[in-house]
Amino acid sequence: MALALQTFATVKDANAALNAAGTRYLGGGTLVVRAANEGDVSISGLIRSTEPSLSTIAVAGDKVRIGASVTMAAIARHPHLGVLAKAARAVGGPAVRNMATVGGNLFAPAPYGDFTVALLALDAIVGTDDGEASIETFLANRDGNRAIVTSVSFTLPKAASFRFLKVSRVKPKGVSVLSIASVLKLALDGTVTSARIALGCMADRPMRAKAAENALIGRSLTKDGIAPALATVNHGTAPATDPIASAWYRNEVLPVHLGRLLLA
Ligand SMILES: Cc1cc2nc3c(=O)[nH]c(=O)nc-3n(C[C@H](O)[C@H](O)[C@H](O)COP(=O)(O)OP(=O)(O)OC[C@H]3O[C@@H](n4cnc5c(N)ncnc54)[C@H](O)[C@@H]3O)c2cc1C
C-alpha cells in the first residue's frame, strides 16, 4: 500500500493533518517506518513538521529545552549536555542515533525508551502546542496521545548527582535487558536527601522506583545503606518476557544493577 508523506512548516498545521484517519507523526522514523515496512496497514500516511524550534537545543544556565526532533547523536555531541551523553549513546548504534529523536523515544515501547528513562529521572516537562505535562503524566497517558510533542525541558543535573546505566547482552549497541537512571542529592555527611530513580524495561514503559527512592532517604550510599532500596526496587515492576530476557531474569538482576549504580 502506498504511504503518503506530508511535510508542514508549522506544528499547528501538522497537528491539524494528524486528524485524518491512518496518519502518524514521523520523527526519525526508526520505529514508525519500520512498522509500515513490516506491513502495519493501520499506517496510511506520515506527517512531519519542519518548524525550526523542533530541532533546537537551548541551554540557559541549568535550564535545558530540547526540541522533539533533536536526535540522540545531536545530544551526545552537544558541548553542554555531556552529563546526558551516556544516556543518548545508549540508544542503538550510530546509524540509529543519527535518526532517532527525543520525541520518538518518548513513545518507544519496552525494550526501547532508554533516553526517556533518563528524562523520567530528571523530572522532565513534555511540551505540546496545547501546553505542558510532567513526564510521568505524559507517559501514563501516551497511548491516547495524538498531539505532536514539541519539546522536553528539564533542569540540568550536576554530573555527580546523575547516574545512568543500560544492561544489554550485545555490546555496545544491544537492546536493553533494563536501564536505570537516578538523580540523587546528598547532604554534607553523605546521606541521601532526595532520590529519583527511573527504570526502563521493568514495565511496558519507563517507571519510577518509588519504594526504592523512599528507602534511600537518610541513608548513605554504602552496601548497608542501600540494602533497603535494593530490597524494595522490584515493587510494582511488571517487565515483559521478550527475546532479550525473561520477566523473571529482569526482576532477578534489577537489584544487582541498582546496587552497582548506587555504589559506583
Ligand atoms: C536497530 C534498532 C535499534 C534500536 N535500539 C534502541 C535502543 O537501544 N534504545 C532505545 O531506546 N531505542 C532503540 N530503538 C528504537 C528507536 O530507534 C528509538 O526509540 C528512537 O528514539 C525512536 O525515535 P524515532 O524518532 O525514530 O521515532 P519514530 O519511528 O519516528 O516514531 C515512533 C513513534 O513515536 C511517534 N512520534 C515520534 N515523534 C513524535 C512527536 N514529536 N510527537 C508525537 N509523536 C511522535 C510516531 O508517530 C510513532 O508512533 C532501536 C531501533 C532500531 C530500529
pLDDT digits (tens, 9 = 90+) for 12-57: 999 999 999 999 999 999 999 999 999 999 999 999 999 999 999 9
Cβ proximity of 259 and 230 under 8 Å: yes
Helix runs in the chain, H state only: 11-17, 32-37, 72-77, 82-89, 94-99, 102-107, 114-121, 135-141, 210-216, 223-232, 247-263
- Which of 91, 146, 164, 205 for a ligand 1 pocket mutation test, highest count of atoms within 8 Å of Cβ? 91
Confidence class for position 74, pLDDT limits 50, 70, 90: very high
Lookup: cell for 84: 546526558
> Hey, whose CA ends up nearest to atom 31 of ligand 1?
104
Residues with a CB atom less than 6 Å from ligand 1: 24-32, 34, 68, 91-92, 96, 99-101, 103-105, 107-108, 112-115, 148-149, 175
pLDDT at 1 over 80: no
Å from CA of 259 to ligand 1 middle: 29
pTM (2 d.p.)? 0.97
Lookup: cell for 262: 548506587
Lookup: cell for 216: 534511600
Lookup: cell for 217: 532517604
State the chain's mean pLDDT as an integer.
Answer: 97
| Atom of ligand 1 lying closest to residue 106 CA | 34
Lookup: cell for 69: 526532533
Å from CA of 100 to ligand 1 middle: 6
Lookup: cell for 88: 543518548
pLDDT at 114 over 70: yes
Distance linking the first and last C-alpha atoms of the chain: 51
Residue 208, beta-bridge partner list: 198
d(CA 234, CA 201): 12
Domains, the chain, in order of start with CATH, read 4-49 (no CATH), 53-155 (3.30.465.10), 159-263 (3.30.390.50)
What pLDDT, on a 0 to 100 scale, did the predictor assign at position 80? 97
